[in-house]
Amino acid sequence: MTVTPLDPRSLPPWAGELTSLRHDEPTGTWSVIAVHSTRLGPAVGGTRAMVYPSLPAAVADARRLAGAMTLKVAVAGLPMGGGKSVLALPAARHRLDDATWRRALEVHARHIELLRGTYWTGPDIGTDTADMDVLRRHTTYAFGRAEADGGSGTSAEATAVGVVAAVRAAAREAGHPGLAGLRILVQGLGAVGMRVARAMAAAGARLLVADVDPARVAMAVGLAAAVEVVAPEEVVRTPCDVLVPCAVGGLIDARVARTLPAGAVVGGANNVLADDEAADVLAARGAVVAPDFVANAGGAIHLVGREVLGWSAERVRERAEAIEGTLAEIFADARARGVGSVRAALERAERSLTVEPAA
């Protein structure tokens, strides 16, 4: 098999520190590691496993997500930098046999080990705690292993706690004193999205759900007496008080933002906004935006807090819930200066990158 080298000219400019690629011919898998910043400490970011249309697309995704991680850990006050890795698979994960998948993970682990602690990883879309157990057998630098294997377990719960806190803050900023009776649309019903949907139902919201997996939708329908199912392609056209994207990023570009019928957007997924203009359009229309790198930082708080800083589960939960207060400060700053909340959050992250974080 002939592997065509990646031409750097096929990629947009990037301000990150390092991009490392490794190809495994037997499995046809590319391991891509992007380190955006080590200013505050070793870079941390999950391993995403999926099929990409091309190698440049995989590299671009890793770089984009790594930049978001830099912002996320900076705003969260964690002593880590931002990175991300992707496994660009030759076929969907469920179509790979166990031996192929295990080899892909082992090759990725050795790739991580070559960076000697510059980059640490954890679970992301397409990977879980069992996969982190495999990685840890071949590299020191893997978070999120199963508790039975000495790790801190899944970060999904802490992520969801933070997203729910962000929903409360965004709803309040949009003029709603509580969540009861609000039309809240949760897109993506995976480990985080399902937890968020359950919390919204418990809070008395009018729950709307969307997912490409009918089984997940059926499970969500049982969360409340009346749950409205939205077709995935109709998410950005369905009126709601709060839209909570918890699937893959890039849902809202500038074109979608001009007509999005949502009073608030809370980024449960990474890189929800596909371009910078989308944030400006939403701000001009008066829509409240809880930036994803603030709203979904609970997972990073869990992994770094438990496995680097030695925090208890209770302290991790407190820090995830504190996202509500962080967003309230960001919203207040944005209002006072007449700028959008995304810009205010970005500037807060940039300020954080100039000082040492609190432990």
Q: Which residues are catalytic?
A: 84
243-74-152 Cα angle (round to 5): 80
109-154-28 Cα angle (round to 5): 30
Please state, in angstroms and rounded to a whole number, the distance separating the CA atoms of residues 197 and 199. Answer: 5
According to DSSP, the β-strands at 262-266 and 240-245 are parallel
By CB atoms closer than 10 A (0-12, 13-18, 19+), residue 2 is exposed
Residues 6+ apart with CB under 8 A from 146: 129, 130, 132, 133, 153
Q: How far apart are the first and last CA of the chain?
A: 49
Nearest 10 degrees: Cα torsion 254, 92, 18, 67: 30
Are 351 and 333 in contact by the 8 Å Cβ rule? The answer is no
Please state, in angstroms and rounded to a whole number, the distance separating the CA atoms of residues 357 and 274. Answer: 29
Please state, in angstroms and rounded to a whole number, the distance separating the CA atoms of residues 96 and 312. Answer: 37
